[in-house]
């Protein structure tokens, strides 16, 4: 069924984009790991909404991404 294929593709995309590869969302962590101080974009997927919003809010306050 087409919905299962869509679900599978969304899960693949989420696993790729949602990889946690730095310990904190901070400019220091980005500099230490990637030699940049700011990402181009920060995207919040709808996983754990209250916690995710808190993490993204702190990241925005830390100026972690341009968009």
CB 44 within 8 A of CB 17: no
Output the pTM of the full model.
0.60
The proportion of the chain whose per-residue pLDDT surpasses 90, expressed as a percent, equals 22
Q: What is the pLDDT of residue 52?
A: 78
All residue ranges of the chain with pLDDT < 50 are: none
Q: Which residue has the tokens 């341009």?
A: 66
Collapsing DSSP to helix, strand or coil, 8 comes out as helix
Which residues on neighbouring strands pair with residue 39, listed in sequence order? 65
| 36 vs 50: CA distance, rounded Å | 28
Domains contained in the chain, number: 1
φ, ψ at 65 (rounded to 5°): -140, 150
User: Does a structural domain hold residue 15?
Assistant: no
Residue 39, domain member (yes or no): yes
- Does 10 reside within a domain? no
Cβ within 8 Å of residue 2, ≥6 positions away: none
């Amino acid at each position: 069924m087409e919905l299962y294929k869509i679900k599978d593709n969304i899960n693949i995309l989420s696993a790729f984009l949602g990889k946690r590869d730095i310990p904190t969302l901070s400019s220091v962590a980005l500099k230490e790991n990637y030699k940049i101080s700011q990402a181009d974009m920060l995207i919040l997927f709808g996983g754990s909404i209250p916690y995710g919003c808190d993490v993204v809010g702190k990241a925005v306050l830390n100026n972690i991404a341009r968009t």
